[in-house]
Amino acid sequence: MRKRSLDPLAVKALALDLDGTVLNPGKALSERTLKALRGCRERGLELLMVTGRAVEAAEKYRAAMDARGPMVYFNGAVVADMPGGAVLSATLLDMEAVKFCVGLSRSMGVYYQVFLPGSLQEPRQRLIAERWCAEAEMYLDHTGIRAEICDIGEAIAAPGLKGCIKSMFLAEAEAQDRIRARLTERFGGSLYVARTLRNFLEIMNPRVSKGAGLRIALDRRGLMPGEAIAFGDEESDLPMFVAAGFSAAPANAREAVRQAADLIVPSNAEDGVAAFLEETFLR
């Protein structure tokens, strides 16, 4: 595949994946990365998070870089205007898929959780699961979000609830393969199914992608997709590579992502995104 060239003068926005890309292995924004991002913002570039994280789980990073305007969460299922949090777009997963996944979780003994949309009375998304276990604890440590323990089947039967934002299994590779096979057998290709982190398998509406979310967020900012550089490391980042005018992957990215990127930068442990921004925009 022919790689695209970069015209720095045409760039107006940086579309930033968090985990594995701008965050270091300790899940932190290093001082060097923060300085580079703030420097780009001061020079007129818009900072646009495009993350699989929930709004709540990404907020400390958004606040640290003082990024404002439409941001992409849940791998594109939600676009929210920050810092206020108004939801600009939500693409929900049909409850039939959630019911099927609940059954898989129970029969396989695999941890499963669901993000339900907020309401006018309570805009914060609600995370639910059926048991507290090591996987729930790990997700809490990773995101700061504690799952509410309840019967998912009863919760999703609530009147007026039209769908969920995202559901996910936390499981090892072998179990993920079995789950994917069962989902394909039941739904064919009519679901969004993507591995994000090593043991995260996410299921969402098939119209959801980081590329679709990025296009919505850029349109709300009055920008064209080609005016953005996309940075990412996982398979869920590939659609925004297509949507953006240029793409860059850190050296720690998956092989398929490195192959698809226009440019490879140093790893997230080496502040690779910051190094690229310093060289390209801050000299």
pLDDT level of residue 119 (50, 70, 90 thresholds) = low
CB contact set of 91 (below 8 Å; sequence gap of 6+):
76, 77, 78, 204, 205, 207, 208, 212
End-to-end Cα separation, the chain, in angstroms: 30
Cβ count within 10 A of residue 158: 8
Residue 2: the pLDDT is 65
The model's pLDDT over 21-67, given as tens digits with 9 standing for 90+, comes to 999 999 999 999 999 999 999 999 999 999 989 999 999 999 999 99
- More reliable by pLDDT, 73 or 120: 73
Average confidence (pLDDT) over 267-282: 98
Of the chain, the percentage scoring pLDDT greater than 70 comes to: 98
Domains and CATH numbers, the chain: 8-90+209-281 (3.40.50.1000), 95-204 (3.30.1240.10)
Residue 100 has pLDDT above 90, yes or no: yes
The model's pLDDT over 193-238, given as tens digits with 9 standing for 90+, comes to 988 778 999 999 999 999 999 999 999 999 999 999 999 999 889 9
Give whole-number Cα distances, 199 to 29, 90, 109, 110, in Å. Answer: 22, 25, 15, 11
CB contact set of 104 (below 8 Å; sequence gap of 6+):
110, 112, 169, 179, 182
- More reliable by pLDDT, 1 or 142: 142
- CA atoms of 247 and 249, how far apart (whole Å): 7
User: Containing H/E element for 163?
Assistant: none
For residue 38 the two structure tokens come to: 């703030």
- More reliable by pLDDT, 141 or 2: 141
Taking 3-state DSSP, the helix, strand and coil percentages for the chain, each rounded to the nearest 5, stand at 40, 25, 35
pTM as predicted: 0.88
Residue 125 has pLDDT above 90, yes or no: no
Local structure of 198: helix, strand or coil = coil
- Measured in degrees and rounded to the nearest 5, phi and psi for residue 200 equal -105, 120
Residue 122: the pLDDT is 55
Q: Average model confidence (pLDDT) for the chain?
A: 94
